[in-house]
Amino acid sequence: MLNIGKIEEGFVLDHIKAGKSMQIYRHLGLDNMDSTVAIIKNAKSKAMGKKDILKVECDINSLDLDVLAFIDHNITVNVIKDGEIIEKRSLVLPKEITGVIKCHNPRCISSIEQELPQIFYLADEEKEIYRCRYCDEKYSESDIM
């Protein structure tokens, strides 16, 4: 059994679908932060069989977690302060996502315009459908960058 110590302040992201933790690591911008991060892959889970867990030691106001709702809203977000869980945060789908999905439409201006941010908007909250801001193309899972 692998043991990883408690964190004083930060987040524990639990119930991540096995194999998705690195994608989340990137999209949360953790590679650009000077924080202690533990990535646990393929941990045993009664409910899921296997799961990933991310532990991030950081100021709890320093991370924008909206993108998690888009990637997988079944993730449990535990907010830690003074070594204790102070909140289980629910995830809300962001109205707009930048730099997470790449439009796959070859006719979209984002396929050729230099340094144009990839922006998707929430077109249908109920069905969780995002569309490209420029061409209205619907994203598919393979478009996640």
Partner 1 sequence: MEKLRHMMNPLDFSVEELESLFDLAGEIERDMEGYSHKCDGKILATCFYEPSTRTRLSFETAMLRLGGKCMGFADASNSSAAKGESVADTIRVISCFADICAMRHPKEGAPMVAASKSSIPVINAGDGGHQHPTQTLTDLLTIRSLYGKLSNFTIGLCGDLKFGRTVHSLINALSRYEGIRFIFISPKELRVPDYITEMLRQKGIPYEEVIKLEDIMPQLDFLYMTRVQKERFFNEEDYIRLRNFYILDKEKMALAKENMFILHPLPRVNEISVELDDDPRAAYFKQVQYGLYVRMALILTLLNIK
Regarding 145 and contact with partner 1 (CB under 8 A), the answer is no
Among 105, 121, 122, 144, binds partner 1 (CB under 8 A): 105
Interacting stretch for partner 1, rule CB under 8 A, among 7-15, 53-61, 87-95, 129-137? 129-137
Min dist CB 71 to partner 1, Å, is: 22
- Who contacts 140 (Cβ-Cβ below 8 Å, separation ≥6)? 104
Regarding 121 and contact with partner 1 (CB under 8 A), the answer is no
Radius of gyration of the chain (CA): 17
CA distance 99 to 29: 11
Nearest CA to 81 out of 52, 54, 61 is that of 61
For 64, counting Cβ atoms within 10 Å of its Cβ (0-12 exposed, 13-18 middle, 19+ buried), the class is exposed
Nearer to partner 1, 79 or 123 (CB): 123
Regarding 76 and contact with partner 1 (CB under 8 A), the answer is no
Asked whether 18 and 50 are in contact (CB, 8 A), the reply is yes
- DSSP symbol at 98: E
Regarding 44 and contact with partner 1 (CB under 8 A), the answer is no
Among 30, 110, 121, 144, binds partner 1 (CB under 8 A): 110
Among 114, 140, 141, 142, binds partner 1 (CB under 8 A): 114
Contacts to partner 1 by CB under 8 A: 105, 107-114, 116, 123-124, 127, 129, 131-138
